[in-house]
Amino acid sequence: MSEPVFIRACRGESVAHVPVWFMRQAGRSLPEYRALRGTGSILEAIGDPVLACEITMQPVRRYGVDAAILFSDIIVPYHAIGFGVDIVPGRGPVIAQPFSSAADLERLRDLTDVDIEHVTRTIDLVVKELEATNTPLIGFAGAPFTVASYLVEGGPTREFALIKTLMHAEPLLFDLLLDRLTDITITFLRAQVAHGARVVQLFDSWAGALTRDEYRRFALPATERVLASIADLGVPTILFGVGTGELLELMSAANSSVMGIDWHVDLDEGRRRVGGRAVQGNLDPARCLGGVDLAVEGAREVMARAGSEAGHIFNLGHGVLPSTDPSTLEAVVRVVHEEGLAGVR
C-alpha cells in the first residue's frame, strides 16, 4: 500500500490533503466511550486489550481522522513494573511512594515484554482493525523529564518544587533517575513499533516549566537519547510539550521528525523557531467549546498561519477537553480536509 498522508506529512512530503488527528481523541468527550467504560479504572481498561482496541478505534470511525493513537497513558510502563502508580479520576497520575532517594532507583527495574503484553496485544488488535483503511497507529510514551516530574512530585503539580529541588540540589541523582526512565521509555517505544505502531509521539508535557538553561541541562539529553535509540526503526517521531514556545529551538535539537506546537505560539512563528521541521498543531482546545462556527473559524486561522508549505499535521494545541461536543470536532476534520493547503498536490 502507498504511505498514508499522515506519515508523508510527518516527513515533510507533499500530500493529498492536510492530515488531522486530535490528542486525547479517544476519551470522555465521546458518548460511546463513556457508555463502554462505565465507572471502572482507566488502568483496568488499558489492561483489557479488546476494550482498549475498541476505545482506540472509536474516534477513527466517528471523526475520519488520519491516524489512530493508542488508548494508553504515559504512566503505564511504571504501573507495569510495580512502582506504585494509579490514575485517580479528577487528579490524574498519583504515586503512592514518590521517588526521593537513591534507594528508589531499585524500584525502577528494567521493563520487559511480559510487563507490557497487554499493550502489545492491544496494538496487534488495532493494527488488524486499521488494515482495511491503511490508517496508521501512533504509539507514544512520556518523555523522561515529564515522567520524572510525576514520580518525584507524587502527582500533577503547578509549582514543580520537588523536581526542581532534586535537579539543582542533587543533579547526579537526578541524572541517574533520568537514565533509568530513558531506558524504560526506549524499551516501551520499541515494543510498540515492533507490533505495528507506524509513528511515535513523545509527550514532554511539563517541559514548559523549565528555563532554557534547565531544559538544556536536565531534559534535552534524555530526550535526545530516546529519539536516537529508536532512529533505526525508521518511523517518524513527534515531540510535544505544553507552554514550550520559548524552548522550541532547543527541543528541535532533539531531532524528532515533527515538532508539536501548542496554541501559545502562532504556527508560522513556530515553523520559524524549529527551522523548517514538520509541525503539528495548534488550535486552542478551548476554541472547540463554543460550537462549530467558532471552532471552524479557529481551524481556518491555524491553516492560514501554516501556509502552503509541506509538513503540517493539524491538531489541537493540547488534548481534547472532556466537554467538547464531538460534532464540533467532526466539523473541524471536514474543513481541514477540504480547505487545508499545506503541501497539497
Protein fold of 5-339: TIM Barrel (3.20.20)
Distance from C-alpha of 66 to C-alpha of 63, rounded to nearest angstrom:
9
The structure's pTM equals: 0.96
Q: Which residue has the cell 532534586?
A: 166
Domain boundaries, the chain: 5-339
Q: Per-residue pLDDT tens for 121-158? A: 999 999 999 999 999 999 999 999 999 999 999 999 99
pLDDT of residue 308: 86
Work out the angle between the directed axes of helices 117-130 and 171-194 (0-180°, nearest 10). Answer: 40
Specify whether the CB–CB gap between 236 and 279 falls below 8 A.
Answer: no
Specify whether the CB–CB gap between 288 and 321 falls below 8 A.
Answer: yes
pLDDT of residue 40: 75
pLDDT of residue 335: 97
Q: Which residue has the cell 536536565?
A: 218
Backbone angles phi, psi at 237, to 5 degrees: -125, 145
Q: What percent of the chain has pLDDT over 70?
A: 98
Distant-in-sequence, close-in-space partners of 54: CB < 8 Å, separation ≥ 6: 36
pLDDT of residue 193: 98
Task: Report the catalytic residues.
Answer: 24, 28, 37, 73, 150
Question: What is the pLDDT confidence band of residue 160, given thresholds at 50, 70 and 90?
Answer: very high
For range 208-229, the mean pLDDT:
98
Q: Per-residue pLDDT tens for 4-42? A: 999 999 999 999 899 999 999 998 899 999 999 877 789
Q: Average per-residue pLDDT in the chain?
A: 95
- pLDDT exceeds cutoff 80 at 63: yes
pLDDT of residue 165: 98
